Structure 1
Amino acid sequence: MKAAPSARSWIAAGVRHELLTRALPALRHDMTAPVSVIRMAVLMLKRQVAADPVDPAACEERVNLIDNQVSELVGAIRSLRDWELATTDDGITRGALVAQCMTLMRSAFDLHGVALEVDDALAPQDDEPRRPNAAALRYLFLGALGYLHDGVDEAGAIRIEADGADGLRLSAGPREAGGASAVLDAHRAPRALAIDAVALQSLAEDMGYAVVIAPDSVRFALAAPAG
């Protein structure tokens, strides 16, 4: 029996939840790192205030540090809104999209023995056009990464390249001899919630994007979905 549209939407929602779960360690780090700095700065500030005589310059330095870290923390918390598809955003450039997703996933992929390689042509540029629907594009990009990570046996690297003026191509390459150990490989598979071709296609269709899925590559355009 063919899945109803509502069922397909639930499938896509489940895929987005899995992708967000995978990105959470990096997001959590962005929020906890300023807290650690603030706690240390408060401790030092207490000592400086209790000193006799009080050093106003040193106290001001600690206060400025705390203020800066609070701003970093607020920014990290607000960034959680970037994952809400219903939120209107101002779009994202292709270079920024790639850079953001690399920051989110590079450490996790490295731990699994999968290197992420980005073509130099995708370095963020000031004059790049912005594509709408940043949240949807972020999920789509992470979905493509997850598909190659989960589905390509013995993948040692995933390369991200430009595909024309408005697209991206992600491809998985084999692991070099003497690369990551089998211990790290044990964390890659099997996964009960692996991103397979059906999951990635459901995600893309639900958000209105077209993807070209091959066994070891994914291509998609960043153009706004029709309608």
Structure 2
Amino acid sequence: MTKTQPDDPHLAHAAAWSALGVQHAILARAMPVVRHDLAGMLTIMRMGTVVLRRRVAAEASSGAGPSAAAGESIATQLDQLEEHLASLSDSARRLRHWDLGGPAKPEPLAATAELAHALAYPLLAMRGLELALGSPEQSLPSAPAPQQPMLCLLLGAIHILAEDPDPIPACVRVVAAPEGPGLRVQAEGQAADAPPATPAPGMPVLDAAALERLARHLGVGLRHGPGWFEIEAPAAAPAPAAVPPLP
């Protein structure tokens, strides 16, 4: 067995690879939701296209040309197909977050929380858990922050709290952080009848230590305690310097 020294050059990137493994484990939990949205919209569009093709063929075979009612019905179906295409496009754009860098453009924290809700809610709902945004006393902050690191850490915090078996929370809530721009994720109540989370085969359990490693890699402040996480909004990357004009 080879003894590894602390300054072994082979371990120079071990921390980064470990953090990326945590990021993969977090995003892997959201992939079934994106896949379902894409497949569902494609199925609906395929069925709508079949119905539309049959209707057009029936009108053509009649020899009398399409009636006003038939034309209106076809126009309605085309509008529906356009809506489905827009939804399909939105789902496809979510795949940007599976890139290592992810979207660099700052987005409002409230928008990032809404995206995290869309990606995490179906998995929690299958176990009867609630995922709530904001509180009656305070809305989510609108301060802009780079979306990719916030989204990964936010999803990680949501799933860690939801997968905690002792106790299983009835609700995971995302609210504004009490200090500075950021978001707080907290467990509320107890779901006595909820089934435990079922980890994917070969996927290690997410825990606070893993999320801390990812936060350090992303350069984002993270605090946590029993039943809660607080994620500081990272500063936006500086804009590239303008290229001076040629003389």
Larger Rg: 2
Is 2:221 the counterpart of 1:214? no
Q: How high is the TM-score relative to the length of structure 1?
A: 0.83
Question: Does the aligned pair in 1 maintain the 2:143–2:181 contact within 8 Å?
Answer: no
Is 2:147 the counterpart of 1:130? no
Question: Does the aligned pair in 2 maintain the 1:85–1:136 contact within 8 Å?
Answer: no
Is 2:155 the counterpart of 1:142? yes
Deviations 1:138-172 (A, max 9, x none): 00101111222234512222222211340222122
For 1:44, the equivalent position in structure 2 comes to 51
Code of the residue aligned with 2:72 in structure 1: it is A
Is 2:38 the counterpart of 1:24? no
Unpaired runs of 5+ residues, structure 2, are: 239-247
For 1:109, the equivalent position in structure 2 comes to 124
Moved more, 5-14 or 108-117: 108-117
C-alpha displacement at 1:73, in angstroms? 1.7
Q: RMSD of the alignment, in Å?
A: 2.8
C-alpha displacement at 1:34, in angstroms? 1.8
Give the number of the structure whose residues are more often helix, by fraction. Answer: 1
In 2: Cα distance, 1:28 partner to 1:188 partner: 18
Code of the residue aligned with 1:160 in structure 2: it is V
Q: How high is the TM-score relative to the length of structure 2?
A: 0.77
Is 2:215 the counterpart of 1:204? yes
Question: Does the aligned pair in 1 maintain the 2:172–2:187 contact within 8 Å?
Answer: yes
Moved more, 106-115 or 37-46: 106-115
Aligned residue for 2:154, secondary structure, equals: helix
For 2:82, the equivalent position in structure 1 comes to 67
Question: Does the aligned pair in 2 maintain the 1:150–1:189 contact within 8 Å?
Answer: no
Residues 63 and 12 of structure 1, relative CA distance in 2, 3 Å threshold: same
Code of the residue aligned with 1:35 in structure 2: it is L
C-alpha displacement at 1:114, in angstroms? 2.9
C-alpha displacement at 1:93, in angstroms? 0.8
| Aligned residues with identical type, % of pairs | 26
Code of the residue aligned with 2:207 in structure 1: it is D
Code of the residue aligned with 1:141 in structure 2: it is L
